[in-house]
Structure 1
Amino acid sequence: MTSQRHHHTLLTKQNNTRQKRIWDLLRHLPTFMFRFLRLLSFVFFLLPAFVVFLYHYFACDRIAVYYGLKGAIGENGERMWLSRHYLDMYGSRTHVNGNKEKKPVVIFLTGGAWIIGYRMWGCLLARALVPFGILVIIPDYRNFPKVNIKGMVDDVDMSIQWVLDHVEEYGGDGKRVVLVGQSAGAHIGGVVVAKKVLDWIRQQQQQQSYQRSEGSNEEDCRHLKSTYSPQQLCGFITTSSPHNLVTMRSVFHRHGLSASVQRSIFGGISGSNDYDDDLNDDTIKSVATSDDMDVFEAWSPYHLVKKCQSEYITLTSEGTTNRSSSSNNNESIDQLKDIFPKLCVIHGTADKTVPVEEAIEFLSLLSNLQIPALSKMYPGWSHTDPILEKPMLGNHLYHRDIYELVRLWTG
């Protein structure tokens, strides 16, 4: 009797869930159709520009290079050369005014909400920079649901390592590399940079505390498998980036990236159905568990930079003696900036996908930690204006700013 009653209860719950989902689908159908028609109209009016975009992508000086592990087998048994571990390299065969000197390098990480990112999206930036003697590399990385955020970070980190190791074979200067990211790509790049700083600090802590013994595994304390240091990057330019995933959760949900999908991407803990249906700042605080929030903090550049500061204070306090607590803190903050590459934060003031407050708060944090960072705010620009709409309309302000920063940082 008990098992029958339990089975009946389970079937009832399943039926209720199914009915609720059908009702939710019908309830949101008008909104979906309206947004779908808006998308079609957007594609229709921009179709001529997209045709030109595709022409430039396939006709320009571009080669595709595999940056993954040779002969490796993927998670589903496929060969890695069939996966997303390829990068597009622009300008390796272009010599400006007959100059064959090694070129400064831009690694551009495309956006796509961690779901639809593709290396083609950076074609316009590459087309603008290559004629001025810059080698542009745009790596692909696996998206959700193929992998979660950890897999994306590992892919980007591996592509940076490949560039630093092999770019000189293609005419680039491995000592003059600038990392640039837009939207989700900027977020992933920010995570990689912050984790590389944390890895550097932890390796220094190991050396100071004599924890590294002969035959020990040096990777135990590292977040990432790569061996390059953050100082090998001349700079990092973040564009339209969500720096703090904790504050962005409700914003993402309102723009169609549901709370359940966010938890799947970033590894959070599943919550109730009500949490997914009606999400706001109050429900985040009341429903999300502390573990759930910790996961989102763990993949937020904002919180990772704060962690870098706290761990560097620990490093300097362990490595110095007869100093007061205040002097330790001041020294930690003053010297932390030397571990990071040079930074620039770019954002459009009319960005509704990732509000400009994200950039302002991140810049405020960097200022408080005395980590210098340049900033460029584009009045009236939207989330995708820097890489899509403005260049298609002939406005290359973003491209000029990238070029000037690369020249400034790489000499």
Structure 2
Amino acid sequence: MICYSVTRHMSLTDRIPTSAKKIVVVIPDLRNYPLVCIPSMVDDVDLALDWTRKNIAQYGGDPTNIVVVGQSAGGHVACMAIFRKIRRKIAREDGIVSLEGFTGTNRDGNGKNIHANGNSNCEWMASDLKGFAAVSSPLNLGSIINESFRRLGFDNGMVDRMFGFEKKTYDPFLALEEFQSAELKHKFVKEFPPICIYQGTSDKTVPYECSESFYRELLRTTSDKQSVSFVSYDGWSHTDPILEGPMDADHRLHKDLFNNVNEWITSPNLTWPNDARINDRLCPHFMIEISRMINPF
């Protein structure tokens, strides 16, 4: 399942290589600000994963081999959905029946509350996921990302509204710090799926330091370098991995992601499609260079 931060049209270049070799790709139509705030976007990811687990077999997919990929804000809300699911399971195991905020309630598509100790009809677990890939995602909402928000014209008031005035609650870096005790670390590691973070070194929208700092904190929590990995792309911007790169026949991200999926899932090994119709440049190189100069991201 792939979660994007913007319109579905941007996903076209990403969908082609992955779907070519019988990987079923689900791209949920997540609501975005100002229609909803971040907490509701996290709810949407939760519901999309529920739907995928229950229905993907009808489309030739395997509900026991689900990998979540999130790009930009899509990676952020997907990460928070996974963290929230882990926190709720730990709370249930500890006998906590009333929770608030990050571990509290979310809403189903009919606006009904789903409580942490409630029984939603589709209870996916973080440990059910075979892997999680975060591409150019704001996983640390500290001072560095605040400068990026301001550069894009988002003042503090707008950012607060985007997060439903719960920015600290929905900061993956701060949420990760909740699991630092020895007991919680053990439970967290047991539930958290393998993760790979992909980040361009010249990303101005989500600075490289945001992803790197989250990666270091995650390593400190899990102490497992095999299930936590970080891939950097020298000189790539925020959109190069999903837009300019694929259009210029540079599929480094796709191949890295493809290889990770192969490692994570239990299906027979897949092979990268060596098909010119899929891998070739989609438009002249000079046009892509011009787009890089005017792309605001």
Q: TM-score, normalised by structure 2?
A: 0.78
Seen in structure 2, the aligned counterparts of structure 1 residues 222 and 374 have a Cα distance that, compared at 3 Å, is farther
1:370 aligned residue (214, 222, 245): 222
CA distance in 2, matches of 1:409, 1:161: 20
User: Residues 202-225 of structure 1: CA distance to partner in whole angstroms, max 9, x if unpaired?
Assistant: 11111xx7x69xxxx995435996
SS in 2 for 1:181: strand
1:198 CA displacement: 0.5
2:201 aligned residue (338, 349, 356): 349
Return the letter of the residue paired with 2:174.
H
CA distance in 2, matches of 1:219, 1:130: 33
1:338 aligned residue (190, 199, 210): 190
Seen in structure 2, the aligned counterparts of structure 1 residues 407 and 146 have a Cα distance that, compared at 3 Å, is same
1:260 CA displacement: 2.1
1:228 aligned residue (113, 124, 137): 124
Q: Which residue number corresponds to residue 389 of structure 1?
A: 244
CA distance in 1, matches of 2:249, 2:88: 42
CA contact (8 A) 1:195 1:224 kept: no
CA distance in 2, matches of 1:391, 1:224: 42
CA distance in 2, matches of 1:363, 1:222: 30
Q: Which residue number corresponds to residue 199 of structure 1?
A: 88
Return the letter of the residue paired with 2:26.
I
Task: Tell me the C-alpha RMSD between the 2 structures.
Answer: 2.2
2:162 aligned residue (244, 265, 269): 265
CA contact (8 A) 2:140 2:213 kept: no
CA contact (8 A) 1:130 1:136 kept: yes
1:155 CA displacement: 1.2
Return the letter of the residue paired with 1:407.
N
1:120 CA displacement: 2.4
Return the letter of the residue paired with 2:194.
K
User: Residues 239-270 of structure 1: CA distance to partner in whole angstroms, max 9, x if unpaired?
Assistant: 111112233223211222222221111123xx
User: Residues 89-117 of structure 1: CA distance to partner in whole angstroms, max 9, x if unpaired?
Assistant: xxxxxxxxxxxxxxxxxx11112xxxxx2
Please tell me whether residue 252 in structure 1 is matched to residue 149 in structure 2: yes
Q: Which residue number corresponds to residue 167 of structure 2?
A: 296
CA contact (8 A) 2:86 2:188 kept: no
CA contact (8 A) 1:246 1:296 kept: no
Seen in structure 2, the aligned counterparts of structure 1 residues 298 and 371 have a Cα distance that, compared at 3 Å, is farther
Q: Which residue number corresponds to residue 146 of structure 1?
A: 35
Seen in structure 2, the aligned counterparts of structure 1 residues 178 and 223 have a Cα distance that, compared at 3 Å, is farther
How many residues matched? 248
CA contact (8 A) 2:42 2:81 kept: yes
User: Residues 55-96 of structure 1: CA distance to partner in whole angstroms, max 9, x if unpaired?
Assistant: xxxxxxxxxxxxxxxxxxxxxxxxxxxxxxxxxxxxxxxxxx
Return the letter of the residue paired with 1:133.
K
Alignment of 1:166-205 (within 5 A): 166-205=55-94
Greater relative CO (CA pairs within 8 A, separation 6+): 2
Bigger Rg, structure 1 or 2: 1
CA contact (8 A) 1:196 1:223 kept: no
CA contact (8 A) 2:203 2:236 kept: yes
Alignment of 1:12-411 (within 5 A): 107-111=1-5, 117-206=6-95, 220-221=115-116, 227-247=123-143, 248-268=145-165, 295-307=166-178, 309-310=179-180, 313=181, 329=182, 332-372=184-224, 373-411=228-266
Return the letter of the residue paired with 1:392.
M
Seen in structure 2, the aligned counterparts of structure 1 residues 134 and 336 have a Cα distance that, compared at 3 Å, is same
1:123 CA displacement: 1.4
CA contact (8 A) 2:90 2:187 kept: no
Task: Note the residue ranges of structure 2 that are not aligned, 5 or more in a row.
Answer: 99-104, 106-112, 267-297
Return the letter of the residue paired with 1:342.
P
Q: Which residue number corresponds to residue 82 of structure 1?
A: none
CA contact (8 A) 2:141 2:210 kept: no
More helix by share: 1
1:149 CA displacement: 1.0
Choose 178-187 or 144-153, whichever is displaced more.
Answer: 144-153
